[in-house]
Structure 1
Amino acid sequence: MAGPGWVPPRLDGFILTERLGSGTYATVYKAYAKKDTREVVAIKCVAKKSLNKASVENLLTEIEILKGIRHPHIVQLKDFQWDSDNIYLIMEFCAGGDLSRFIHTRRILPEKVARVFMQHALQFLHERSISHLDLKPQNILLSSLEKPHLKLADFGFAQHMSPWDEKHVLRGSPLYMAPEMVCQRQYDARVDLWSVGVILYEALFGQPPFASRSFTELEEKIRSNRVIELPLRPPLSRDCRDLLQRLLERDPSRRISFQDFFAHPWVDLEHMPSGESLARATALVVQAVKKDQDGDAAAALSLYCQALDFFVPALHYEVDAQRKEAIKAKVGQYVSRAEELKVIVSSSNQALLRQGTSARDLLREMARDKPRLLAALEVASAATAKEEEAGGEQDALGLYQHGLGELLVLLAAEPPGRRRELLHTEVQNLMARAEYLKEQVKMRESRWAAETLDKEGLSESVRSSCTLQ
C-alpha cells in the first residue's frame, strides 16, 4: 500500500481510490464513475515521462487490440483518456483478484478447476493472429469471487503475429517465459503455449516448474536442457499429464501445435460452455429418445451420455435462474433413464463378457507359440477382472486400451485362419467393453457436475471441486 502522503491522480468523471497494482510503466487504480451509475472500473494510469519509444508502441498496440475485441473471457477496454502528465486506460473492474492469488490461497487446484482457465480466449486471440506474449497467473483475472469468470488481461506486450512470424525482443516475465525467448531471443506465437503449460503446472502443483531463490538459479534452469519432470503427487489424469508434457517441451518445433492443443481431449473446447451447448444437447436427446423407442438400448444409452456432456456446459452458460432450474429438471430425467438403460445394457454385456472369456481361453490355447499375443490376452483378462471390482472402471479402461493397442497390431500381421477369426472377435469384444466403460465414466462425471451446480452456477462447481481436494 502507498504511504500516508500518497495521492492518486485526478481524472475528470472518475474518483480514483485504492491502488490495485503496478507494472513496468503503469499503475492500476480502482475507481468510481461520478455519473449516477457509480460504475466501478479499473484505471490503468501510464505516466508520459516514463515512456520510451518501445513502451509507447506497446501502449498503442494494447489500445488498438483491446478496442477491437469484445469477448467474455477478455477484460474490456471501456475508454481511454489523457492529460499533460498521464494516459489513462479505463478498464472493466474484476473484483475477484487474479489467478495467482486464487492459486496461492488454495495452495493447489484440482484438475476440474485448473481446466476452467482453458477457455475460449486463447483460441479467440489465435484465430485473429494475436499473441499475448505475457501470459501469467497475474494477468488472468476473476470477475468476482462469488461467480468466478476468468478474463485475460494486460495486453501491454501483445502483438499481431502468425505462428511463423519471428520476433527478437525480450518480452514477458522470466518465470513464464519460453526458453527460446531467453536463450535465442528468437521466437514465434508458440511461446504462449509454453506459458499456458507453466500456468497449468503452477495451478496443479502449487509453484511454477522453474521456481528459484535467485535470478541466477532461474536463468540456469531456463538454459538447461533437462526435461521437465512432473511430480507424482497429486495424481493427475493421463490426458492432463500428456498435455503438460507436450506444452512444456523446450524445443518449440517439438512443442504441441495450437491446432493439437485446441483439439486435445483434456482441453475439450467442444464441451466448453457456449450459446450452442443447449441446442447440441437437445439434438442428441431427440436421437436418444428415438433409439430408446426403437428398443436399441445401447445406442440410446450412448446418445444420452453424449447429450449430458453438453447439458452440463449449458447449465454453466445459462444465467437465467428459471431456465437453469428447467434444464436441471430435464437433466435429472435423462440421468434416471440412462441409469435404467445402463442396467439393461449391462446384463447383455455380462453375457457377452462370459462368451468373450470362453473365446479368449480358446484363443490362448492357440497362441502358445506367440508370447506377445499371450501377454496381450493377459492384459485383456486383467482389464475384465478390474472392471468387476467396485470403482475399477478407470483402471479397467486403461488396461483395455493398452491391450487393444497390442492386439490390433497383432491382428494386422495375423495370416487368415481360425486364430485370426478368434482374434478379430476378441478385438471387437474388447472395443465394445472399452466404449461401454468410457460412457459409464462420462455419465458419472456428468451426473457429478450436474449435482454440484446450484443456483450460483460455476462458483458452486469451483467451490465443490476445491473442497474435494
Structure 2
Amino acid sequence: MAGPGWGPPRLDGFILTERLGSGTYATVYKAYAKKDTREVVAIKCVAKKSLNKASVENLLTEIEILKGIRHPHIVQLKDFQWDSDNIYLIMEFCAGGDLSRFIHTRRILPEKVARVFMQQLASALQFLHERNISHLDLKPQNILLSSLEKPHLKLADFGFAQHMSPWDEKHVLRGSPLYMAPEMVCQRQYDARVDLWSVGVILYEALFGQPPFASRSFLELEEKIRSNRVIELPLRPPLSRDCRDLLQRLLERDPSRRISFQDFFAHPWVDLEHMPSRESLARAVSRPTGMWWNEGMCGDVLSAPFGGKNTALVVEAVKKDQEGDPAAALSLYCKALDFFVPALHYEVDAQRKEAIKAKVGQYMSRAEELKAVISSSNEALLRQGTSARDLLREMARDKPRLLAALEVASAAMAKEEEASGEQDALDLYQQSLGELLLLLAGEPPGRRRELLHTEVQNLMARAEYLKEQVKMRESRWEAETLDKEGLSESVRSSCTLQ
C-alpha cells in the first residue's frame, strides 16, 4: 500500500481514484470495478494501525449491521476485504454528495423538499427501529444523495451504530456534539431516543440553514446544550403548523417528553403511509389492509377487486357515488388520490405515468363535481339551522364557554367564505368542536342539549368536508406541478438559489 500523500491504496479487482472524504480512522475513495461492468463504488479504507479496541468493535458492528441490511434509503455494503495494512468496505456509490453540502449550497430547503427528504430518512429509521438498531451519529454529513439529478437520501456511516432495544441504556458518548442529544452530554445516560433528537436538529438545519446550537466555540456549544431553555423556532421562513409541531416535539430536551418513534413515523407531516414508493399505486387501488393490483395496468390503472376485503378504493367510491352518497364517494376518491399522487412521483415508465395521470384527472374532475353538490347541500343545511343556532345562542347566555365556542364556529363559517380560507376555517372549526364536545359531555338532558348535539353534528360534517377540500387542493397542486422529470425536477426547481 502507498503511504499517506502517495495516492490511494491498491486493491485487487478495483481501481481507486479520487478521495471522497476522510474521518478519524478511515478514508473513502471513489473506485471502479475492473470487471466488464465497470461498476462505480465507494471504498472505505480503514488503516489497521489506527484502530484501538473501541474502533475495532465499532468497525465490526458496522460490518455486521450493514451486511444484513437492504433498504432503498440505506447505503448498501456490497463486500469487504482486508490486507496486511487496511480493511476495505466496498459500498454503494452516491454521486450527489452529502446532505450538508446540499443544504449549504442552497442556504435553506423549501418545506416541501425537506418533507420528501424527511420521509426517506424516516423510512430508513423505521426499518432500523424494527430491528432494534440505533444509528447514534445522525447528521447531514452522514446522509448521502444518490445523485443530484434524481436525489434520494441514503443513510450512511454506521460506525457508531448499536443493537439497542427501546429500553436499553448506554453511557458512552457517541456522535457529533452539534447533533448530540442533551441527555447524552449532560447525564451520559441515554437510549434509542437520541436518534430522534438528531433528526430534529437535521430538520431544523434544513429549514433554517444552521443547527439550533450553532456556536463559535465548544464552550458556547456546551453551554447551549446544558441549558434548560426551550428550543425556539425562527418565525421566518413561515412553516406549516404540522411541520412546526414535529420540530418542537423532536427538539424536546427531556427524552421522556420527546416524541416517540411510533408517533414520529405516524406524524401527519412525515406521513410515511403516503410516501412515494413502489407500493403507492397498489395502495391507491386497494385498501391499505390488502394491497393488490394488476401488473398489466398499461391499458387501465385499476385492477378488478381481488376478494371481498380488498375492494378497490376507487371502485367503492364509484359505488357510493351511484348510491347517491356524495360525501362518502368524495372521501374515498380523496383517499385514493392520496396514493395516486405519490405513485406519480415514483413512476419512471412514461406509459404507466400517463395512464396514472389520466386516472388522476378523471377522479379529480368527479371529486370537484361532488364538492359542488356537497357544498350546496351544506349551505342549505346551514341556512336551515340558522334559527336553531340563534336559539342555542340565546340559551347559552349563562354559559360563557359555550357562547365563546359558538362564536369561534361563526368565525369559521365567515372564514370559509373567503378565497383560499379553507385551512383557516378548518382550524377554527376544530378549535370550536374541541370545546363544544367537552361541553356536550357535561350538558344535562334538555332542549339546550338537543340543540347543542345537532350543532356539533353540523359543524363536524362541515369540518370533514373542508378536510377533503384541503386534501383535494394539495393533490391538485402536486399533480399539476409534476412534470416528466418527476420528483427530481420538483426538488431541483424548489431548491434553486435565490
State TM-score, norm by structure 2. Answer: 0.91
In structure 2, distance between residues paired with 1:237 and 1:7: 49
Equivalent pair of 1:180/1:186 in contact (CA under 8 Å): yes
Residue 278 of structure 1: CA displacement?
Answer: 1.3
Equivalent pair of 1:147/1:459 in contact (CA under 8 Å): yes
Equivalent pair of 2:136/2:160 in contact (CA under 8 Å): yes
Equivalent pair of 2:2/2:8 in contact (CA under 8 Å): no
Report the equivalent of 2:223. Answer: 220
In structure 2, distance between residues paired with 1:149 and 1:405: 40
Residue 318 of structure 1: CA displacement?
Answer: 2.4
Equivalent pair of 1:359/1:422 in contact (CA under 8 Å): yes
In structure 2, distance between residues paired with 1:464 and 1:307: 27
Deviates more, 1:208-217 or 1:30-39: 30-39
Q: Does 1:149 align with 2:172?
A: no
In structure 2, distance between residues paired with 1:227 and 1:241: 14
Equivalent pair of 2:280/2:340 in contact (CA under 8 Å): yes
In structure 1, distance between residues paired with 2:384 and 2:334: 26
Q: Secondary structure at the match of 1:28?
A: strand
Residue 4 of structure 1: CA displacement?
Answer: 12
Equivalent pair of 2:106/2:496 in contact (CA under 8 Å): no
Deviates more, 1:309-318 or 1:439-448: 309-318
Residue 63 of structure 1: CA displacement?
Answer: 0.5
Residue 466 of structure 1: CA displacement?
Answer: 3.5
Go from structure 1 to structure 2 and tell me whether the alpha carbon gap of 1:465 and 1:309 turns closer, same or farther (over 3 Å shift).
farther
In structure 1, distance between residues paired with 2:30 and 2:429: 55
Residues 20-44 of structure 1: per-residue CA shift (max 9 Å, x gap) = 1111111111111122111111111
Equivalent pair of 2:95/2:147 in contact (CA under 8 Å): yes
Equivalent pair of 2:2/2:9 in contact (CA under 8 Å): no
Go from structure 1 to structure 2 and tell me whether the alpha carbon gap of 1:2 and 1:423 turns closer, same or farther (over 3 Å shift).
farther
Q: Secondary structure at the match of 1:170?
A: coil
Identity %: 95
Deviates more, 1:207-216 or 1:361-370: 361-370
Go from structure 1 to structure 2 and tell me whether the alpha carbon gap of 1:2 and 1:447 turns closer, same or farther (over 3 Å shift).
farther
In structure 2, distance between residues paired with 1:468 and 1:397: 34
Deviates more, 1:312-321 or 1:40-49: 312-321
Deviates more, 1:147-156 or 1:447-456: 447-456
Go from structure 1 to structure 2 and tell me whether the alpha carbon gap of 1:434 and 1:464 turns closer, same or farther (over 3 Å shift).
farther
Residues 385-442 of structure 1: per-residue CA shift (max 9 Å, x gap) = 0010001111111111111111111111111111111111111111111111111111
Residue 341 of structure 1: CA displacement?
Answer: 1.3
Equivalent pair of 1:452/1:464 in contact (CA under 8 Å): no
Equivalent pair of 1:452/1:460 in contact (CA under 8 Å): no
Go from structure 1 to structure 2 and tell me whether the alpha carbon gap of 1:426 and 1:2 turns closer, same or farther (over 3 Å shift).
farther
In structure 1, distance between residues paired with 2:78 and 2:197: 30
Residue 343 of structure 1: CA displacement?
Answer: 1.2
Equivalent pair of 1:312/1:449 in contact (CA under 8 Å): yes
Equivalent pair of 1:73/1:119 in contact (CA under 8 Å): no
Deviates more, 1:54-63 or 1:328-337: 328-337
Q: Secondary structure at the match of 1:216?
A: helix
Residues 28-73 of structure 1: per-residue CA shift (max 9 Å, x gap) = 1111112211111111111111100000111111011000001101
Q: Secondary structure at the match of 1:119?
A: helix
Deviates more, 1:434-443 or 1:269-278: 269-278
Residue 353 of structure 1: CA displacement?
Answer: 2.2
Task: Note the residue ranges of structure 1 that are not aligned, 5 or more in a row.
Answer: none
Residues 335-358 of structure 1: per-residue CA shift (max 9 Å, x gap) = 111111111111111112222343
Q: Secondary structure at the match of 1:19?
A: strand
- Aligned residues, how many? 468
Go from structure 1 to structure 2 and tell me whether the alpha carbon gap of 1:292 and 1:182 turns closer, same or farther (over 3 Å shift).
same
Equivalent pair of 2:15/2:33 in contact (CA under 8 Å): yes
RMSD: 2.0
Equivalent pair of 1:449/1:461 in contact (CA under 8 Å): no
Residue 467 of structure 1: CA displacement?
Answer: 5.7
Residue 5 of structure 1: CA displacement?
Answer: 5.4
State TM-score, norm by structure 1. Answer: 0.96
Go from structure 1 to structure 2 and tell me whether the alpha carbon gap of 1:299 and 1:137 turns closer, same or farther (over 3 Å shift).
same
Report the equivalent of 2:258. Answer: 255
Residues 242-288 of structure 1: per-residue CA shift (max 9 Å, x gap) = 111111111111111111111211111111223332122x8211111
Deviates more, 1:34-43 or 1:45-54: 34-43
Residue 6 of structure 1: CA displacement?
Answer: 4.4
Residue 97 of structure 1: CA displacement?
Answer: 1.1
Equivalent pair of 1:73/1:150 in contact (CA under 8 Å): yes
Deviates more, 1:418-427 or 1:453-462: 453-462
In structure 2, distance between residues paired with 1:47 and 1:256: 40
Q: Secondary structure at the match of 1:44?
A: strand
Deviates more, 1:269-278 or 1:374-383: 269-278
Deviates more, 1:105-114 or 1:414-423: 105-114
In structure 1, distance between residues paired with 2:491 and 2:478: 10
